[in-house]
Amino acid sequence: MEILQQLTFLERGIIAGLIIGFICPLVGAFLLVRRITIISEALSHITLTGITAGVFLSQAVIWLNFVNPLYTGFLFSLAGSLLVEKLRQIYRHFQELAVPIILSSGIGLSAVLISLAQSSYNEWYSYLFGSIVTVTLNDLFFIMFTGLAALLILGAFYKELLSISFDQEFAETTGISVNRLNFFFAVLVALVISMSMKVVGILLVGAMVTLPVAASIQIAKSFKQVIILGIIFGETAMIAGIALSYYLNIATGGVIVVAGVVILIITNLVKRLTQAGTAAS
């Protein structure tokens, strides 16, 4: 713990970034095979509502001013992930409507709350677009703790999650409780989103979850490879993004995402070239 306290603000940011670069693609791989990567966008937007609500409450109600907005963000994100499931049942014929509804309401409510909470716009920009220099020691603890929790959940249920992701009906017949696992999965995604938010920014968390696995699935030959390559791509994007944003003085989240896009383009080119090669031989 004492080592952690001696870290400079930049080191804190880099450590936080590395943890996020590891866990986001890990969860992203499961989202990808379950075809619900878009859910990360919806949850990140609802996390913004939680954050704005946290900031607003801490301003409006004095005895609440100790509340770290990250915690309210996590609570909202969790509620949102459960609500998406509920909405899917209501709109049985238009299930894909659930995500845009949650996404819009999340961002709409936060727009109102931002206007009401009279903070400076600059504070919001660091939540929206991420910034490694604002990672405090408390935030780092939050990120480490949630990262650990996410790893534990994933480790404990890896096999069950895998089986559900690839063949839900088969998983059910083998006696896996789908509802319970889906709940844990929702908790997992909510954890990952709220932990990544501080570094990458709310609007870009979805990118961190999607882009590395979208790149790795192009060249990976198995699910394990998707995960491993995804993590490598995620960390590369993270490091490149942090370094470039520091030297060029650009918002961190933006550069991380652009690095992710570049990796995606390269893998697509590699795939195309190797395919052309095998076709020619």
Partner 1 sequence: MIQVFFQYDFLTYSLYTGLMIGFMAPFLGVFLVVRRLSLISDALSHITLSGIAFSLLLGRYYPFFAGLNPLYMGMAFSVGGALFIERLRNVYRYYKELAIPVIMSAGIGAGVVFISLADGFNNDLFNYLFGSVIAIRQSDFQLIGILTIVVSIMIILFYKEWFFLSFDEDQAVVSGIPKRVLHTLFIVMVALVIAASMRVVGILLVSSLMTLPVAAAIRWARGFRQMFVYAVIFGEISVVTGLVSAFHLDVAPGGMIVMVNILILLISLALTKGKQG
**Site residues (CB under 8 A) for partner 1?**
32, 35, 37-38, 40-41, 45, 90-94, 96-97, 99-101, 103-105, 107-116, 121-122, 124-125, 128-129, 201, 203-204, 206-207, 210-211, 214, 217, 249-251, 253-258, 260-261, 264, 268
In angstroms, give the least distance from the CB of 123 to partner 1. 11
Nearer to partner 1, 111 or 270 (CB): 111
CA distance 251 to 126: 8
CA distance 47 to 106: 8
Q: End-to-end alpha-carbon separation of the chain, Å?
A: 58
In angstroms, give the least distance from the CB of 50 to partner 1. 15
In angstroms, give the least distance from the CB of 104 to partner 1. 3
Nearer to partner 1, 140 or 192 (CB): 192
Nearer to partner 1, 128 or 140 (CB): 128
Q: Are 212 and 260 in contact (CB under 8 A)?
A: yes
In angstroms, give the least distance from the CB of 100 to partner 1. 4
Q: Are 13 and 199 in contact (CB under 8 A)?
A: yes
In angstroms, give the least distance from the CB of 8 to partner 1. 23
Q: Are 51 and 69 in contact (CB under 8 A)?
A: yes
Nearer to partner 1, 232 or 250 (CB): 250
In angstroms, give the least distance from the CB of 258 to partner 1. 5
